[in-house]
Structure 1
Amino acid sequence: MAWDILNMIAVMAFAFSGAIVAMSERYDIFGTYMLGLATAFVGGIIRNIALDVPVVHVWEQGIFFYVGIATITVAYFFPKSWVMFMDRWNVYTDAIGLSAFAIGGAMFAMDQGFPLGGVMFAALLTGVGGGMTRDVLAQRRPMVLHQEIYAVWAMAAGFVVGMGWVNLDSVVQMYSLFVAVIALRITSFHMGWHLRFRDFYRI
């Protein structure tokens, strides 16, 4: 149940994020739904392909598909001023999706019996795949390639889960990790933390 709720949060966050980006880029209603659904589900599809496990298509996602559709529908009727405001602060919605999907991806890999490297890889692909797809389709620079630390937090979530430092049966511990990853992503954004090693030496 906790895993399902986490996935639902992730789907809602990324579907909303994709819809907001689509509308800010003046996509029509079809494009808005397509970008919203791609943002919410492509990360999991890429993960399954990379891990060579059966792919669950978008239309086979059950309740999550309908949650994504409903979220995009609500966002589509936002006033233009709201859309522009939400687009400027999309980093927060993206952080929620990143955290939830990274943890969900790590849990999926653990359930499939993958070792630590596979768990971290699954967390990375699930966490950043949807956001990267959204930005590429919207012809924006993907957040994962920004200077601020982004993908590292998804891998860190996978590492914590893979090492068994979080009891996956404990709702408190799972959601504590969820909040921690969000906080780290937002903090790294506002503080400008980055991985530019060239700043530590002179060429």
Structure 2
Amino acid sequence: MSFTADDWVLVLDMLGTVVFALSGVLVARRLQMDGFGLLVLASVTAIGGGTIRDLVLGVRPVFWVVDVLYLWVILITCIVAIPLAQLLSRAKVNWLLLRADALGLATFTAIGVNKALDLGAPAIVAVGMGVLTGVGGGVIRDVLAREMPMVLCREIYATACIAGGLVQVLVDHQTGQTPLAMLSGMLVTLLIRLAALHWHWQLPTFGKLDQH
């Protein structure tokens, strides 16, 4: 039995949910939150970006209200990850967090672009929805954790989403193959983000305006 395009989208969506929930768990572990705080942080990271995307696109009700499998996946991820996270040192937690976040970023960007295209959105809007889906949950997570969201720093973060989204839209337009387009976009986003982490690439910042 071969996978359909919808099957591939569901698999990638579940992967992104697990990975982003895990990144929420790791942040909560680093900040020594209690179980409720951990669950909240994992949930908003995993479904926050997609929720905002659906609200912007006018999708009612939002995806996790229609399919509660997302909530169960988040809960199971938390239960499994809590004892495992306790075994990791702070340095390993930070290292794993950044890689898990990169994979979730790439996956959810592809999901967001695909959903917008399915709804007939123009290419530029689809890319924007990909970025929103990719970074939205992480922004909420970082704000709740009282940290500066990576998307607002010099990190190559949203830029990676834009590049991956553009590639996905182009491949989808040229081939009409949804799985190929999504995997292409994911790969570009992931490789750029991982390369930025490895080589410490950063975007230029504005200089102080009051310098003389």
Secondary structure at the counterpart of residue 14 of structure 2? helix
The aligned residue for residue 82 of structure 1 is: 88
Deviation per residue, 1:41-68 (Å, 9 max, x gap): 0100111122233241645433222111
Opposite residue 102 of structure 1, the aligned amino acid is T
With 87-96 and 113-122 compared, the bigger mean Cα shift is at 87-96
1:153 maps onto 2:170 in alignment: no
The reply to whether residue 132 of structure 1 matches residue 139 of structure 2 is yes
Are the equivalent residues in 1 in contact too, given 2:109–2:186 (CA < 8 A)?
no
Change (3 A) 1:49 1:88: same
Counterpart residue type for residue 90 of structure 1: L
* Residue in 2 that maps onto 1:175: 183
**Shift of the alpha carbon at 1:71?**
0.8
Q: 1:79 to 1:159 in 2, by over 3 A?
A: closer
Which is further off, 79-88 or 108-117? 79-88
Contact 1:166 1:173 in 2 (8 A): no
Distance 1:83 1:15 in 2: 19
Change (3 A) 1:94 1:168: farther
Unaligned runs of at least 5 residues, structure 1: none
| Counterpart-to-counterpart distance in 2, 1:154 and 1:140 | 21
Is the Cα–Cα contact under 8 Å of residues 164 and 188 in structure 2 kept in the other structure?
Answer: no
Q: 1:56 to 1:110 in 2, by over 3 A?
A: same
Please show how residues 1-203 of structure 1 align to structure 2 within 5 Å.
1-56=7-62, 58-78=64-84, 80-82=86-88, 84=90, 85-163=92-170, 164=172, 167=175, 169=177, 171-172=179-180, 174-196=182-204, 198=206
Q: Which residue of structure 1 lines up, in the alignment, with residue 3 of structure 2?
A: none
How has the CA–CA distance of structure 1 residues 90 and 73 changed in structure 2, closer, same or farther, with 3 Å as cutoff?
Answer: same
Amino acid at match of 1:27: M
**Contact 1:102/1:126 (<8 A) preserved:** yes
- Return the TM-score normalized by structure 2: 0.85
Shift in Å, 1:82: 1.2
1:140 is displaced (CA, Å) by: 1.2
What's the TM-score once normalised by structure 1's chain length?
0.88
Q: Distance in 2 between matches of 1:194 and 1:121?
A: 21
Query: Percent of counterpart pairs with the same letter?
Result: 32
